[in-house]
Structure 1
């Protein structure tokens, strides 16, 4: 339904012209004056435009106590469209005083007038309101609310001599409310007539689609928007691309593939960016370095780092943290420290991620003293480590037979910054306590663990069995072994 209206209202059956955004600029003759219209409309227009703001509204209220219908409002607003702020005040006054039962048509009229006057934020707010209004007008209809608004905006577009970005605002409203399918449909209907939404709007759609439905979904809509797959879309209407992807487009694609673990695709997108002569920015390099770090290809990551510096791009905290994390991952803690020192000398402050990478790296290398120094420094700077970092620290201390110290670290984290111990943290501590034959303390901790909703697993059972065997208490150990087997069998 909306597609036919789009063709009829935006692109009437006249002599064909090349697809262009300029199609939106056509408008009917505007030489009609209020005197040639309904007397009510001409009177209201005269009052609004000629009386002072302090008296016009009360005077209108006295003359028209029952207000106006939505069509009258639209006609009045059109006569004052060259003063969009005044038109908006009239709309808000009728809304606040309940003098007009505004529908999609009247909302569309004022939205177009605001867009025409480049009042973007006000137009956007009313689009969001219009989507809610469409709900009451869509009872029994299977068409989505945003598409009803799109249909109404198309119908009133030419009459209001609006601006093309009004449809970008509608798409933005869809994306912010996570209404992905209507956003895609609107984009496709615009593209089918050779009209591209704004580049930032297209990038926002690609980002959200990649986050919600996976990187390949974002990549597919990217290829569709920029005309990389075919020359002809639905209804055999030729499409001419109006825009080209920019670095933010490629960053959104690379980030989507990186988050999905498809690091090889990150390099493919990087190569496509080069093919289109699009220059990467610092964030682009950070994503590519992160992909190489994920694969533990630190030589390649360093090459990207050097290329970035050679291009005159100064690394930011994201780039430094990426390299620090990569070197910690492969156990090259000295290189990670070098990058950390260089970051400080560059005047870039360490973040919680910097500390977490280094703490995890030192734990991996078995240098728990260095890890603890960093952890204490991290707390002094009021950073809060992630659960995975706490797990690494607790496990490292337990592996070094520093179980009581690990227990104090966990308890201190709970008290000082509300740390919620993970199942792994409990498991490491219980295993360490059992190895030191501190079974009473281990049982208390296991009871606390159950109270937090964690069920004993085979690791916990094995730790207690080993602890009781060390004490020579074979009877309890055998009972626990049987209980573990029953638990595994679901008894």
Structure 2
């Protein structure tokens, strides 16, 4: 496909090889002190320019598939008269690798080297950097840096994609009081960024919508059937429009990440707060170890005519697997989720399979095998690689038992 073509044909009399060597020297200098295992493994796989170019093409395709085609074109566009990748692509790939592996300190160092070298960052460079800071809760300076680089994007005339905006606003909500979030929004708007073009804006109109959530929440949690501990927890979780914004964004991002989403699903998640609050009540029961209450809240949700989305099912299923008493209910909900056309993520179906396998008896093992068979019959094949990733840290004997059950059916 032409849009994903990064490597170009060189014109006559152009010293392409020298340019390639220069880019690889930059790459090797930026990565020579890497100590993180995951990042190191990736960097070591890039032994020459052709390997680097192949990684760039793969990154371009991933960005394009993630609705970041314009950002991809900007990042990988060769400078006038050049035929190799631009220097900004080298810096950005290293920054993105460090940031995605949780090494924001190293990513930030590379960014500073990039600026010192006179290389101008692209919108995706900033997005990768902001995303890295927005998950770094270990450093109190992270929120300051995340805001700084978002504003720097605007100062450079860039129009940020919705993802760095949502990442940052979620991080601010967790790290700072509401007043600080409002101040930052004023700074953003003063620089000319209209928040209305985002799928999930946080503005006055949206605040009005969120007040509906508070009213629905009050109506629901003060019913006589809701546990007192759950009432208090839910009230604390959504006693302001700002907190509700964070809850809504978490659901929104989870739906996107799991791929159980289309335009109608997103709009429903954003405009119908009832599903959000019912899910919060279910989650609250599970937090207090009250599986029966969570199931009753789920049944009440269905009785009230509200359709759970994949996030609701994920919360419910994984929570129920914590207590063997409710394992049958977790299995039933997993199959129900699939019958409705929703694909459970690896963490969800692995939790159910693991719970059966941990029972250690022949009957539970057979029931687990039957579950895998039913899943396959519904067109859903468990991903063995993803399951192993979820099971990391479990005793080897447990992992072996679980994977033997699954693989016996996949091979069959």
TM-score w.r.t. length of structure 1: 0.36
TM-score w.r.t. length of structure 2: 0.41
